[in-house]
Chains A and B, each alone.
Chain A
Amino acid sequence: MKKVTERLKRHAEHGKRWVIAVPTLWLMLFFALPFLIVLKIAFAESAIAIPPYTQLLTMADEAFDLHVYFGNFIFLSEDALYLTAYLNSLKMAAISTFLCLLIGYPMAYHIARAKPSTQTVLLLLILLPSWTSFLIRIYAWIGILKSNGILNNALMWLGVVDQPLTILNTNVAVYIGIVYAYLPFMILPLYANLVKHDHSLIEASQDLGARWLQSFWRITFPLSRNGIIAGSMLVFIPVVGEYVIPELLGGTNSLVIGKVLWQEFFNNRDWPLASSLALIMLLLLMLPIHFFRKYQEKEWEEGK
């Protein structure tokens, strides 16, 4: 009997290894490999060649020549433009995350409190827009926000304003776009957290003399911390590198790292500089990613 269980266990171990192997392979192929290539290019010099950078390792005169170039990083640190771009991106991500939290929390809360059948419908409504192309949806916002667009026409017709508002190609438009696009990423983890809350805790809180608002701040909100962290990370991390929304909805002078990266890569064809920019961005995001992983581990432990 013992032998059988042991063998079964070994089988399970074996199975586990396979289960882990697939995502590991996936990660190696689509994350580690590209990352190594970016890393390599970041330490190369720009060159007029195909591909447009020097090689790290060259073979000449019966010797390997290792050529590690730090010039890109020095260049980045010397030009204030890049620092501004990074800071702008971080600011944009932080504000967007906060706005998403502000709008997403009440939504997630109400979905989690709704009847189960209603919950499904509401969640579907949250997810439904993402079934159309992201790009098309952002283009649609141009139609809404431009000076003779739907929004301005409606406002003028209502008599709220008598001149069209300039929203498109401003930061406001960028925030509208980002909040719109990333709201589901805030709502879903928050919902997943809030729906698990035990309602009797709120009843206990009321029973002990707390009103709704006090119960919310002292019970519901602290207990949803993990959901808040997860949602915030899911918004913050991709928004730092966001390119499409600032490009389409923002002004030409909006300086964010995603746009700078694009310019360096496609307009200047300076792959090494673009790679260094990407590398630094990744390092900047290490901290929140680390937080996010911690959260996931915790959630997983709790789920067990």
Chain B
Amino acid sequence: MIEPSLSRDGVDGHFLQIKSIVKTYDDVVAVNDVSLDIAKGDIFALLGASGSGKSTLLRMLAGFETPNSGKIILDGEDIVSLAPYRRPINMMFQSYALFPHMTVEQNIAYGLKQDRMPKAMIADKVVQMLRLVHMEKYAKRKPEQLSGGQRQRVALARSLAKSPKLLLLDEPMGALDKKLRNRMQLEVVDIIESVGVTCVMVTHDQEEAMTMANRIAIMEEGSIVQSGTPRDIYEAPNSLQAAEFIGSMNLFRGAIAVDAEDHAVIDSEEINNQLYVSYGVTTAIEDKHVVFAVRPEKTLISRDQPQGEYNWCRGVVHDIAYLGGHSVYHIRLDNGKILYSFMVNSDRFADQPTWEELVYVYWSDDSGLVLRP
């Protein structure tokens, strides 16, 4: 596949190329033949469930693990055989790994000292870094005297101090509480973008990946399921795993009934109507079994039966989760299946369906996706 991946500043991609990396521990295949291209300036998120191999992949980039096979090419140089201390890569550790016996200043200066930089230059750089993360006032503190968010900033400053070609973030928000997390996500992105460093981050939180990254790769059991922009992955997941991993989905298992060039019709036992999509499903389906997927926010609820014979179903309101801006309706179909639908709460006291009310859920022809099971 030739895909000229362009970065945000328009420079040609392939700054970091991961080629067919395999890593096994005894009999566990932690990373299974992963290939990725990451452009200069990208913030690239590896997203996956626990045990999917994201940390292992990141640690191979940092040099703490050696792949069984494959290449890692950074800026034209194969770095697989380089020791961690030789790589132009710095990492922000999950628990930050700040040196507890050193002050903030000394922590940031640590990497610069290893380069035998003159003292005055180190001091300048440290001040510059402290300013970057807004921690000038805390230069003389020890890590234990800082809050979680402050520690994270110091860790970020320390990993940026050597101006690495590649910045690695391992679960960057893992040690923070929910509120702080949302704030720091944006702040960290601001800092990374102001420096312009290429960044690979690992997270199991899809919201975090979508907030922070401009490209995401979903990992499952050591393999990449899909990679692309957050929008691509959300709107056009290429597999059931990808669809289920990001956001919530209503799924109907079924089989292709009509497969025309500009539309397809799907029979499903899980719904009382046929499903219709206004685009051709790929021709190469010998196996007629498919899964129809539609996101809750793409469905509508009404009290009146919708027109037409496709893409609607009847049920009763089983549960309502009021989330402020919108509510999530859990609709129980006749066959017991639960469907999720979002309703925007735009009016303060709108006359919305309530518990156990009979309602219809419907969606437009281009809202659904046809996936392989």
Indicate with 1 or 0, residue by residue over B71-85, a CB within 8 angstroms of chain A CB atoms. 000000000000111
Chain B neighbourhood of A222, CB < 8 A? 101
Docked complex Cα distance between A207 and B89 (Å): 7
A29 beta carbon closer than 8 Å to chain B: no
Docked complex Cα distance between A209 and B84 (Å): 7
Give the size of the chain A interface in residues (CB under 8 angstroms).
Answer: 17
A205 beta carbon closer than 8 Å to chain B: yes
B279 beta carbon closer than 8 Å to chain A: no
Indicate with 1 or 0, residue by residue over A202-245, a CB within 8 angstroms of chain B CB atoms. 01111111110010001100110000000000000000000000
Shortest B277–chain A CB gap in Å is 49
Indicate with 1 or 0, residue by residue over B157-185, a CB within 8 angstroms of chain A CB atoms. 01100100000000000000000000000
Indicate with 1 or 0, residue by residue over A240-267, a CB within 8 angstroms of chain B CB atoms. 0000000000000000000000000000
A200 beta carbon closer than 8 Å to chain B: yes
Shortest B125–chain A CB gap in Å is 13
A154 beta carbon closer than 8 Å to chain B: no
A207 touches B90 (CB 8 A): yes
The answer, among A201, A203, A214, A219, for a CB contact under 8 Å with B84, is A203
Q: Known contacts A203-B84, A223-B100: does B158 contact A208 (CB below 8 Å)?
A: yes
Shortest A259–chain B CB gap in Å is 42
What is the number of contacts between chain A and chain B, taking CB atoms within 8 Å? Answer: 57
Within 8 A of A (CB), among B273-301: none
Docked complex Cα distance between A204 and B90 (Å): 9
Docked complex Cα distance between A219 and B159 (Å): 17
B234 beta carbon closer than 8 Å to chain A: no
Q: Known contacts A200-B93, A203-B64, A204-B93: does B111 contact A209 (CB below 8 Å)?
A: yes
Docked complex Cα distance between A274 and B336 (Å): 93
Chain A neighbourhood of B11, CB < 8 A? none
B85 touches A209 (CB 8 A): yes
Q: Which partner residue on chain B sits nearest A202 by CB separation?
A: B97
Chain B neighbourhood of A214, CB < 8 A? 114
A79 beta carbon closer than 8 Å to chain B: no
Q: Which partner residue on chain A sits nearest B158 by CB separation?
A: A208
B114 touches A208 (CB 8 A): yes
B97 touches A209 (CB 8 A): no
A210 touches B85 (CB 8 A): yes
Q: Which partner residue on chain A sits nearest B94 by CB separation?
A: A200
Q: Known contacts A207-B91, A208-B90, A209-B162: does B111 contact A201 (CB below 8 Å)?
A: no
B62 beta carbon closer than 8 Å to chain A: yes
A200 touches B97 (CB 8 A): yes
Shortest A164–chain B CB gap in Å is 49
The answer, among B84, B98, B101, B159, for a CB contact under 8 Å with A206, is B84
Docked complex Cα distance between A201 and B94 (Å): 11
B110 beta carbon closer than 8 Å to chain A: yes
Docked complex Cα distance between A209 and B97 (Å): 15
B304 beta carbon closer than 8 Å to chain A: no
A223 touches B84 (CB 8 A): no
A206 touches B99 (CB 8 A): no
Docked complex Cα distance between A204 and B89 (Å): 11
Within 8 A of A (CB), among B89-126: 89-91, 93-95, 97-101, 110-111, 114-115
A297 beta carbon closer than 8 Å to chain B: no
Docked complex Cα distance between A233 and B110 (Å): 32
Chain B neighbourhood of A210, CB < 8 A? 85, 110, 114
Q: Which partner residue on chain B sits nearest A222 by CB separation?
A: B101
B99 touches A219 (CB 8 A): yes
Within 8 A of B (CB), among A176-217: 198, 200-201, 203-211, 214
Chain A neighbourhood of B100, CB < 8 A? 201, 223
Shortest B162–chain A CB gap in Å is 7
Shortest B199–chain A CB gap in Å is 15
Q: Which partner residue on chain A sits nearest B93 by CB separation?
A: A200
Docked complex Cα distance between A219 and B110 (Å): 11
The answer, among B90, B97, B158, for a CB contact under 8 Å with A201, is B97
B85 touches A201 (CB 8 A): no
Chain B neighbourhood of A219, CB < 8 A? 99
Chain A neighbourhood of B89, CB < 8 A? 207
Docked complex Cα distance between A211 and B115 (Å): 12
B93 touches A209 (CB 8 A): no
Chain A neighbourhood of B114, CB < 8 A? 208-210, 214
Q: Known contacts A200-B95, A201-B99: does B62 contact A207 (CB below 8 Å)?
A: yes
Shortest B102–chain A CB gap in Å is 9
A209 touches B95 (CB 8 A): no
Chain A neighbourhood of B97, CB < 8 A? 198, 200-201, 203-204
Docked complex Cα distance between A125 and B371 (Å): 61
Shortest A216–chain B CB gap in Å is 13
Docked complex Cα distance between A207 and B110 (Å): 11
Chain B neighbourhood of A223, CB < 8 A? 100-101
Interface centre among A201, A204, A208, A218 (most CB of B within 10 A): A208
Docked complex Cα distance between A207 and B85 (Å): 5
Q: Which partner residue on chain B sits nearest A212 by CB separation?
A: B85
Docked complex Cα distance between A205 and B63 (Å): 13
Chain A neighbourhood of B162, CB < 8 A? 208-209
Shortest A255–chain B CB gap in Å is 42
A209 touches B99 (CB 8 A): no
Docked complex Cα distance between A203 and B93 (Å): 9
A205 touches B110 (CB 8 A): yes
Q: Which partner residue on chain A sits nearest B155 by CB separation?
A: A204
Shortest B315–chain A CB gap in Å is 46
Q: Which partner residue on chain A sits nearest B64 by CB separation?
A: A203
5 extra A-B contacts, CB within 8 A, seeds A201-B99, A211-B83: A198-B97, A203-B62, A203-B84, A205-B110, A208-B158
- The 29 sampled A-B contact pairs (Cβ below 8 Å) are A198-B95, A200-B93, A200-B94, A201-B97, A201-B100, A203-B93, A203-B97, A204-B93, A204-B97, A204-B99, A205-B99, A205-B110, A206-B83, A207-B62, A207-B84, A207-B85, A207-B89, A207-B90, A208-B111, A208-B162, A209-B114, A209-B162, A210-B85, A210-B110, A211-B85, A214-B114, A219-B99, A222-B101, A223-B100
Q: Which 8 A-B pairs have the closest CB atoms?
A: A208-B111, A209-B114, A204-B97, A200-B97, A206-B84, A209-B85, A206-B85, A207-B91
